[in-house]
Each structure stands twice: as C-alpha cells, then as structure tokens.
Chain A
C-alpha cells in the first residue's frame, strides 16, 4: 500500500505540472483583465493541434515547436482581445465577456471540426513513451519535461510582471485601471498584450496535454475548463504561482483518492476546493496579496 501511495503522489505532482501549464494563462488573464476566459479549454486544444501540425507535417520536435506555437497563439490572443473583448464596456462587461469567450470557444471548436473532423489525434515523440527509473519508480520524460516547463514559465511570468516596466504597467492596471490610465499607461495595449501572453503560454499546456491525454479532438476542451477554473480559484485568482501550487495540490489529492476509491476522486477534488475556500476565501494566494506584491 505504501508503494501505491508514493506512486499516487508522484503521479499527482507530475500531472499537476501539466494542469499548471494549462491554468497559468487563465489566471493571468483573470488577474489583469477580470475576464473568465471560457475559451481557455479550446485554446489548449488549439495549441495541441498547432503542435500536431508542426510535428506530423514538418517533423518539428514538440518542444522546439513551441518557438512557433507560443508566438502564434500570442497573436491569436491579441486579435481576440482587440476584436471581441475590448469593445465590451459598462456594467455588463463581465457577463458579456463570458458570453463572448463562450462564443469564441464554439466557433473555434466548429472550425477545428471542419478542419480535422472528430477523429482523435495524439502527439508522439520518443520522450512521450520513455521514462527514467528513479527510486523504484518509472517517471515518464514527457511529464518531467512538462513540469520543468511549468516551473520555467511561472518564473518567466514572475520576472515579466515584477522585474520589467511592462510588468509595472500590468500590475498598475490590475490595481486600478482608471488610475493607471490617468498616469499615462496605455491600458488597452496592456490588456491586449496580457491576453496574448495568457493565450500564448497556453500553447505549452496544449502541447503537453496533447502528448499525455491519450488522444484529443475538438471536443476535448470541455472536460478541461471546470478543472482549470477550480485550480485558479484555489490558487488565488490572478496568482501565477498559486496556479502551480493548486494544480499540484488538487491533482495529488485526486490521485491519492484514486488509490482507494476512484469514483470519489472528482467529488473530493471539488470538495477540497470548497473546504479551502471556506477556511481561506481568497485561495492559497489571495487576490489582494497578489496585487500587493
């Protein structure tokens, strides 16, 4: 039994890294723009398809392909923000952004269905199925690389937000958009770039998801969005590091429950969310704490 528990913890941490890659963009977008991006799930899948195109047609390595897919997704994010999000103003802005991002999800899904059909795709590479043997456990390289990538991305986003002039603009916009505008910050530009970054980093999550999920099709995004939202709420809305911590915490918990009673895994996942929020309503790294950093 002890071995099963250790295995479950290892699995939870590794899978948590994959979910962190998918969640950081979502929490960044919410933190800066107050937007719940319902399209995050389909953006993950879009990222997976872009990686698939590069790998299957051009034989470009999955990680190397991120040099193309991340900028491509960044551009897509900027276009979405400028064309569909920016025009929304007024009291109903939040609810309208929910509708708009949902519409974007449906449109993107429809386009992917037209292009690829419903058949499943899988990203493959030698490191997807090979693993390293450490302390009696086989650790798949794809999960190890994915976890390392999550750490790098979180660190890079921290550097961007807290060590650059653009980061100061972003944090000023997070704290008070009107005040930021009054001191000369181009908040429209900040919003567009931030949304672009949020979607861009999702390309990395899409690539790792596409290699580890057992197959994806245009519909696969729907199963993701509720978990990703739970993760960013638990981590503290807007907290990049919180998304990573919450991903690892939630997926490890789910993996542990899986050892005894898998049918309870999802129940415990969301019960843990409720419990933590009762004790700490702002999540692990609450929003006020995030903005004060």
Chain B
C-alpha cells in the first residue's frame, strides 16, 4: 500500500499538464496546417475574393523530406502567380495540412479541406502511397486532383479514378522510367554489355514497377538476373539484403528505392564489402540534390544514376527561372534543387492553365478540359493527359552525378538534346 501522501494536487497537475501537452503537441504536429497567402504586389488581386487551394503534404513522417520540398514548390508557384495578379485576378491562398505521411490522415485531411474549409481546388500529396487513398475522398466530392508524385500504375487504375477520371499526374509515368537505361544497355555491343544484374526492391507501389519492367527487358537482352527480391520498407537494417547483392557480384544494380537512406545504406554496405557494380541506378534517392550528396558524399555519388523527367539543368526558360528563384529564396546551388520542387511547381502551372481556360474554378469543367487532349506547359516540359490522367507527353531521362559529385547531368537518352556522355563504369568508392 502506498503511504498516504498528499499526491492529489500533483496528480491533478500531471493529468492536466499531460492532457494539455499532448493535445497541444498533437494539434501542432500531427495535423498542423499552414496557410500561405504569398503576398501579392498586385492591387487587383488583393481586392478580390481569393481562390483557396487545399493540399495535404507529409511535413513530418517518412516522407517529410519530400513533403517539405513539395511545400516549397507549391509556395514558389503561388508566390509567382500572386506577383502576376493571381488567377483570373483572384489572389491564390494555399491551405496545406500535414498528413504525417499517413495514408489514413491524408484522406481525413482532404475531407477537412473540401467539406470544412471549402477550398476551391485541390493539389496532390507526396507519393503514390498517399495519392490513392486521398483520391477516394477527392473523387467523392467531384474535385479535379492534379498531382505530381502519384505516378504508380495502381494510382491510375484505382476504382475511384476509373470511375471519376479525376487524377492528373503532371510528371512522368513511373513504369517507363527505366526504359532509357534499358535502351542504353541494348545499344552496347554484345561484348561490352553487362552480363548480370541484381534487382533489390523496397515494397512500394512507386519503386517496384519500373524496376520490374527493367528486369523483364534486360533479361530479354540476355542480362542474367542474379538477385531479385522485394524487401519490406521498414526493414531493421539494409545490411543483409545489400550483402546478398554484393555476394552475387552483379555488374548492374537496379535498386527499387523510395528515399535517400535506402540508397545510402546499399552504397555503404557495398563499400564495406569491397564491391562496386559497373552500373548503379536507383528509382529514387539520387534525385534529391543536396540532400543526397550530404549523406553519401560527393566522391561516392559519382556514377550514381536515377531516372526522372526533370533536373535542375533542364533547358527551359521557365525551369531555369524557378531554379534561380529557389536558390535565391532558400539558398544552396542549382544542382542541389530537389526534383520535388519542380513537380509541385508544375502542378500549380497545369491547374492555372485549366482555371484560365475554363474561366473559373468549376472542377467538372476543369476535369473535362484536362481530358480534352490539350497540351499544357510546365517547368518539367509538356503535359498531355490520357484518359486515366497519365502524362503521355513527358519524356523519360536518366540523370547521373558527375564531375566529383558537383554536377547532376542528363545522360540518357544519349541522343537527346541536353545529354552529356555517361560514365559507363562507376568509379570505385572513395570514402
């Protein structure tokens, strides 16, 4: 039995304190929201009713690095639009909620944005994993769902999208991302073509389809598969699967990754095992600019490849302007600008064109317009949607870290404008 101490006030204090603390922190972190009005210099914009655009982003949680980059991309776009007088003369106000990288929370957030906040338009979240559940809600309310990071095939073939056709992904369809890499291998003389390949994949709807397609096509070219396994994303440590890949001595490694740590862990384990693949391409990670380099180091980054539809050196006036604007606002270098920023900015551009063309924010008209076969422009290049909302006008490229890890260059397709010669054999690790 506890001694009869005057503990009640302390307990009451603790209870109250804990409740306040928990509620406060939960309110601040788990479902935090931010509104960005991106102050406009235009008098006409400030005098009219704003157009509110809602988005749920992973500002915390597993996708926080990408989610915060997306937030910057959306804000840069809103800032630019408002500086030019807004949309149809209305100032743009972003309403962004944090989903903590949770597929459950993202659906709740879009319900809040549409039914409680009454936003006029919606922008997508980060990752295919969150776009699919979010669209169940967004489609239910009849909103157009313009997004840049939900490119997995399962997103477009979801029952909600097949019924409502409301998803529009401004980025490259991911399934075909590795095709330029496969074509490069096919272009090599048989004697110089790598003989073996390994395909470790994280269990993710974004990461696996392009790697599986690459495996299928490389096998058809006679490249022997020596490792092909899918490992859980929440694996305790990547050492075991990475060591298995290293033991195969595969000449090509095609890694189905979703983030920087996965790629970094494989690189580290390969270095520990004194194994350097001839070619190393990852579905995601090396495209994260400075965030990638700061973890793996400049020297080790050399030769690392990633497929994408955009890179900071992309030869377009609007892209260069956004890169310059980003560097001026957030610092760093052009090579360090995350591709997520361009994807998010493109979402805004496509929506803006649709609003301008339809003369308002009627989502039914916007959906109809975006399905009309019109070709739109974005910082990532042309955008043209098919019946399921995939951008069929986009082109797949492969990028590679070169010049001592200081340059992130387009290398494939080799005959495409802007491509520089590929580093055909990855240099040894330099740590």
Query: Which A residues contact B (CB, under 8 angstroms)?
Result: 3-4, 7-8, 11-12, 14-15, 18-19, 87-90, 92, 96, 99-100, 102-103, 106-107, 109-110, 113, 117-122, 124, 126, 128-131, 138, 140, 143, 178, 181, 212-220, 222-223, 227, 251, 254-255, 258-259, 261-263, 265-266, 269
A-B contact pairs, 10 of them (CB 8 A): A11-B243, A102-B22, A103-B22, A103-B25, A120-B294, A143-B239, A212-B265, A263-B232, A265-B232, A265-B235
Within the complex, what minimum Cβ distance (angstroms) separates B130 from chain A? 15
Residues of A contacting B294 in the complex (Cβ-Cβ under 8 angstroms): 119-122
Residues of A contacting B18 in the complex (Cβ-Cβ under 8 angstroms): 88, 96, 99-100, 103
Residue of B7, B14, B266 with highest tally of chain A CB at under 10 A: B14
Within the complex, what minimum Cβ distance (angstroms) separates B102 from chain A? 11
CB atoms of A87 and B14 under 8 A apart: yes
Residues of A contacting B22 in the complex (Cβ-Cβ under 8 angstroms): 99, 102-103
Residues of A contacting B59 in the complex (Cβ-Cβ under 8 angstroms): 118
Residues of B contacting A90 in the complex (Cβ-Cβ under 8 angstroms): 7, 11
Majority SS of interface residues in chain B? Answer: helix
Within the complex, what minimum Cβ distance (angstroms) separates A234 from chain B? 14
Within the complex, what minimum Cβ distance (angstroms) separates B182 from chain A? 24
By beta carbon, the residue of chain A nearest B229 is: A262
Mark each residue of chain B from 214 to 252: 1 if its CB lies under 8 Å from any CB of chain A, else 0. Answer: 000000000000000111101111111101100100000
Bound form: Cα–Cα A14–B243 in Å? 13
Residues of B contacting A12 in the complex (Cβ-Cβ under 8 angstroms): 240
Evaluate whether A215 and B264 lie within 8 angstroms (CB atoms) in the complex, with A109-B60, A110-B29, A138-B273 already known.
yes
The interface stretch among B61-69, B373-381, B387-395 is B61-69
Residues of B contacting A106 in the complex (Cβ-Cβ under 8 angstroms): 25-26, 29-30
Mark each residue of chain B from 10 to 43: 1 if its CB lies under 8 Å from any CB of chain A, else 0. Answer: 1101110110011001101110000000000000
Majority SS of interface residues in chain A? Answer: helix
Residues of B contacting A214 in the complex (Cβ-Cβ under 8 angstroms): 238, 260-266, 268, 295
Which of A110, A113, A178, A261 has a CB less than 8 Å from the CB of B1?
A178
Residues of A contacting B244 in the complex (Cβ-Cβ under 8 angstroms): 4, 7-8, 258-259
Bound form: Cα–Cα A14–B241 in Å? 14
Bound form: Cα–Cα A131–B243 in Å? 13
Bound form: Cα–Cα A213–B30 in Å? 25
By beta carbon, the residue of chain B nearest A181 is: B3
Query: Which B residues contact A (CB, under 8 angstroms)?
Result: 1-3, 5, 7, 10-11, 13-15, 17-18, 21-22, 25-26, 28-30, 59-62, 64-65, 67-68, 101, 203, 229-232, 234-241, 243-244, 247, 259-266, 268, 271-274, 290-291, 294-297, 429, 431
Within the complex, what minimum Cβ distance (angstroms) separates A120 from chain B? 5
Residues of B contacting A18 in the complex (Cβ-Cβ under 8 angstroms): 237
Bound form: Cα–Cα A9–B396 in Å? 41
20 more A-B residue pairs beyond the given contacts A4-B247, A217-B65, A218-B60, with a C-beta to C-beta distance below 8 A? A11-B239, A15-B239, A88-B18, A89-B14, A100-B21, A106-B26, A110-B28, A110-B29, A117-B68, A118-B65, A131-B272, A143-B239, A212-B239, A214-B264, A214-B295, A251-B236, A258-B241, A262-B229, A263-B232, A265-B231
